[in-house]
Structure 1
Amino acid sequence: MKINLENLKYKHAKSRMKEIKAFYIMLTGCILLTPYLIFINMKVNPEFQWFWFPIFGFAVSVFGYAFYLFIGKNWEEKKIKDLLEKEKINSKSL
Structure 2
Amino acid sequence: MTEKDFTEADRYYDAQKKVKEIRGFYEHLTVYVLCNPIVIIVNYMTSPEYLWWIWSVMGWGIAIVLHGLKAFEYPPFFNRKWEDKKIQELLEKENKRRLESNHGNKFE
TM-score for both structures, normalised by structure 2:
0.67
Superimposed CA distance per residue, residues 32-87 of structure 1 (whole angstroms, 9 cap, x where no aligned partner): 01000011011111111110011001110011111222213686344448x7xxxx
Verify: 1:14 aligned to 2:12, yes or no.
no
For the structure 1 residues 59 and 44, does the alpha-carbon distance in structure 2 shift closer, same or farther, using more than 3 Å as the test? same
More helix per residue: 1 or 2?
A: 1
Corresponding residue number in structure 2 for 1:68: 70
Moved over 2 A (4+): 72-81
Q: How does 1:25-36 map to 2 (within 5 A)?
A: 25-36=27-38
TM-score for both structures, normalised by structure 1:
0.76
Structure with bigger gyration radius:
2
Name which structure has the greater RCO, CA cutoff 8 Å, separation 6+: 1
Give, as a single letter, the amino acid of the residue that structure 2 aligns with 1:45: S
Select the residue among 3, 6, 11 that pairs with 1:4.
6
- Superposition CA RMSD, Å: 2.0
Q: How does 1:38-77 map to 2 (within 5 A)?
A: 38-70=40-72, 71-72=74-75, 76-77=79-80
Q: Which runs of 5+ in 1 are unaligned?
A: 84-94
Give, as a single letter, the amino acid of the residue that structure 2 aligns with 1:16: K
Q: Which runs of 5+ in 2 are unaligned?
A: 89-108
Tell me, in whole angstroms, the C-alpha distance in 2 between the residues paired with 1:65 and 1:17: 14
